[in-house]
Amino acid sequence: MAGIRLVHVPYRGSAPQFADLLAGHIDVAFATMASAATLIRDGRVRALAVTSPTRSPTFPDVPTVAEAGVKGYSAEVWYGVFSPKGTPPDVVTALHRAIVQASASGAFRDRLAREGVVGGIGSPQDLRAIAEQEVGRWKQVVKDKGIRIE
């Protein structure tokens, strides 16, 4: 969308990615807020923009990519808990109930806030819809941009 070309460098996690960024081996990194928040707070890296459609409450002075000039850009990180196909519905319901209960704890919410994670817990049906939408979206990006996956 910005009309720029970047070279994707695959990393086995954020630790080696940030090690290379801090050492000057790479110029820019896309990362989750959870993996970058401490480095941003410590002033070791500079947040250029957030990829969400709205600013982060953790770093309200950091613009969105859209605000920085790439109109319409939005790419959000989401997490899901999946089970094998065919898992009985009562087991899915019990797992969902346990996840909702655990995520309501103050310690859990405080940790998410410290790491800049914003969001909520949806239903299993919500997760299915998000996953299907995101897979379709990124398949289209790969196709439109002629990205080769090796």
- In the chain, where the domains are located: 1-77, 78-150
pLDDT number for residue 67: 96
Residue 119 banded pLDDT, cuts 50, 70, 90: confident
Contact (CB, 8 A) for 54 and 66: no
Contact (CB, 8 A) for 59 and 47: yes
State which CATH number among 3.30.930.10, 3.40.980.10, 3.40.190.10, 3.40.50.970 fits the domain covering 1-77. 3.40.190.10
Q: What is the pLDDT of residues 70-112, one digit of tens each?
A: 998 989 888 899 999 999 999 999 999 999 999 999 998 888 8
Q: Could you tell me the pTM of the whole model?
A: 0.74
